[in-house]
Homo-oligomer: A and B are copies of this chain.
């Protein structure tokens, strides 16, 4: 057990320290300049060379994933929980989507980065989708089974739609992503 704890990831002590330092520096840089903060800035912030970043995180996307992994996991785990606690499956879906939007809306440029054809950020896209689409699908299926929505939409489509609607919402007081997403989810509701 103790071995397993210590054996995680890098072997040398300085390397382990650097990984933590880098994650903190990246998080700070993302808050200050958005997720598009240059790798060099993050390296400078952490007081290391650029190569050190790439030794720990094969690509920029992996660093971004590492920084947000905990929050994405939390969001994913909230799905089934809401299904148990909310009045109806549709309410659960609605609350879960709000959770996701709140997460995206507070990360400058993250929503945009998720869909950039630029550089090698596909793995970021892939990670978010792999982790969250199953949860979304589960909520969607539950709501459909309860007859609250028409089932014409896949979890994948809803996730992408919501993610897209959040793009550029951080710095624009005239654009309220929450309202748009709310309308989208309203549009899902069965009009009986």
Contact = CB atoms under 8 A, between A and B. Distances in A.
The bracket for how many chain A residues form the interface is: 20 to 34
A119 to B, nearest CB: 11
Interface in A134-171: 152-154, 156-157, 160-161, 164-168
A2 interface: no
A179 B160 contact: no
A109 interface: yes
Q: Which of A115, A160, A175 has the most CB of B within 10 A?
A: A160
Contact of A187 (B152, B168, B174, B186): B186
Contacts of A109: 117
A115 B116 CA distance: 10
A80 interface: no
A158 to B, nearest CB: 8
Contacts of A34: 117
A75 interface: no
A165 B168 contact: no
A99 interface: no
B174 A168 contact: no
Contacts of A112: 115-117
Interface string A168-192: 1000101110011011111110010
Contacts of A168: 115, 117, 160, 164
A137 B82 CA distance: 37
Contacts of A154: 174
22 contacts: A112-B116, A112-B117, A115-B168, A116-B116, A152-B179, A153-B179, A153-B180, A153-B183, A154-B174, A156-B175, A157-B174, A157-B176, A157-B179, A157-B180, A160-B168, A160-B172, A160-B175, A161-B165, A161-B183, A184-B184, A184-B187, A191-B191
